[in-house]
Amino acid sequence: MADLLRVSVAELADGAADGPLLDMSKGVCEPIVGVELDGGADAATLDRAVTRARACDRLLIGIAGKPLPAQTVDLTHALDLTLAGAAGPAGRECVAVPDPEERLTAVHSAALRNPQASVVLGALLRMTEALEVTTALDVESLAYSTLLGGPEFRRWLDGRRRRAVPPTVAPPVLIDRVDDRLLITLNRPERRNAYGREVRDALVEAMRLAVLDDTVTRVVLDGAGPSFCSGGDLDEFGTTPDLTTAHLVRTRGGAGRLVHELADRVEVRVHGSCVGAGIELPAFAGTVIADPGATFRLPEIGMGLIPGAGGTVSIPRRVGRWRTLYLAMTGEPVDAATALSWGLVDEVTPSG
Question: Which of 59, 84, 113 is at the close of a domain?
Answer: 113
Average confidence score pLDDT of the chain? 93
Instruction: Look at residue 68 in the predicted model and tell me its pLDDT.
Output: 87
Instruction: Look at residue 239 in the predicted model and tell me its pLDDT.
Output: 67
Q: Is pLDDT of 349 > 70? A: yes
Residues recorded for the chain: 352
Residue 122 lies inside a defined structural domain of this protein:
no
Question: Which of 51, 81, 113 is at the close of a domain?
Answer: 113
* Residue 280 banded pLDDT, cuts 50, 70, 90: very high
Does one domain contain both 98 and 144? no
Measured distance between the N- and C-terminal CA atoms of the chain, rounded to whole angstroms: 47
Instruction: Look at residue 339 in the predicted model and tell me its pLDDT.
Output: 98
Which range (35-49, 92-106, 191-205, 236-250) has the least confidence?
236-250
**What mean pLDDT comes out for the span 33-62?**
95
Instruction: Look at residue 163 in the predicted model and tell me its pLDDT.
Output: 65
Domain extent, residue 269, equals: 133-348
Residue 123 lies inside a defined structural domain of this protein:
no
Instruction: Look at residue 1 in the predicted model and tell me its pLDDT.
Output: 57
Structurally, the chain folds into a number of domains equal to 2
Residue 128 lies inside a defined structural domain of this protein:
no
How far is Cα 244 from Cα 72, in angstroms, rounded to an integer?
43
* Residue 2 banded pLDDT, cuts 50, 70, 90: confident
Q: Is pLDDT of 51 > 80? A: yes
Q: Is pLDDT of 273 > 60? A: yes
* CATH number, domain with residue 301: 3.90.226.10
Output b/e per residue, 4-28; b: 16+ Cβ within 10 A: bbbbbbbbbbeebbeeebeeeeeeb
Tens digits of per-residue pLDDT, 63-89? 998 888 888 999 999 999 999 987 777
Question: Which of 80, 113, 146 is at the close of a domain?
Answer: 113
Does one domain contain both 247 and 181? yes
Percent of the chain having pLDDT more than 90? Answer: 82
Residue type present at position 1: M
How far is Cα 72 from Cα 77, in angstroms, rounded to an integer?
9
Nearest CA to 251 among 137, 124, 130, 146? 137
Classify 98 as helix, strand or coil: coil
The pTM score is: 0.95
Q: Is pLDDT of 162 > 80? A: no
Instruction: Look at residue 70 in the predicted model and tell me its pLDDT.
Output: 86
Does one domain contain both 186 and 257? yes
Instruction: Look at residue 169 in the predicted model and tell me its pLDDT.
Output: 64
Does one domain contain both 90 and 143? no
Does one domain contain both 53 and 167? no
Does one domain contain both 146 and 95? no
Instruction: Look at residue 234 in the predicted model and tell me its pLDDT.
Output: 72
Residue 217 sits at the vertex; the CA angle it makes with 215 and 219, to the nearest 5 degrees, is: 120
Instruction: Look at residue 249 in the predicted model and tell me its pLDDT.
Output: 87
Residue 298 lies inside a defined structural domain of this protein:
yes
Residue 62 lies inside a defined structural domain of this protein:
yes
Q: Is pLDDT of 276 > 70? A: yes
Residue 166 lies inside a defined structural domain of this protein:
yes
Does one domain contain both 159 and 203? yes
Residue 125 lies inside a defined structural domain of this protein:
no
Identify the bridge partners of residue 287 per DSSP, sorted by sequence position.
Answer: 267
Instruction: Look at residue 156 in the predicted model and tell me its pLDDT.
Output: 92
Does one domain contain both 139 and 92? no
Residue 127 lies inside a defined structural domain of this protein:
no
Does one domain contain both 67 and 211? no
Residue 116 sits at the vertex; the CA angle it makes with 115 and 121, to the nearest 5 degrees, is: 100
- Of residues 66 and 316, more confidence is placed in 316
Sheet (strand 295-297) strand order: 273-275, 295-297, 334-335
Instruction: Look at residue 167 in the predicted model and tell me its pLDDT.
Output: 67
Does one domain contain both 107 and 229? no
How far is Cα 303 from Cα 312, in angstroms, rounded to an integer?
16
| Secondary element (H or E) of residue 238 | none
Tens digits of per-residue pLDDT, 88-133? 777 899 999 999 999 999 999 999 999 999 999 999 999 999 999 9
Does one domain contain both 153 and 285? yes
Tally of CB atoms within 10 A around 250: 23
**What mean pLDDT comes out for the span 28-48?**
94
Instruction: Look at residue 40 in the predicted model and tell me its pLDDT.
Output: 81
* Residue 240 banded pLDDT, cuts 50, 70, 90: confident
Does one domain contain both 85 and 171? no
Q: Is pLDDT of 55 > 60? A: yes
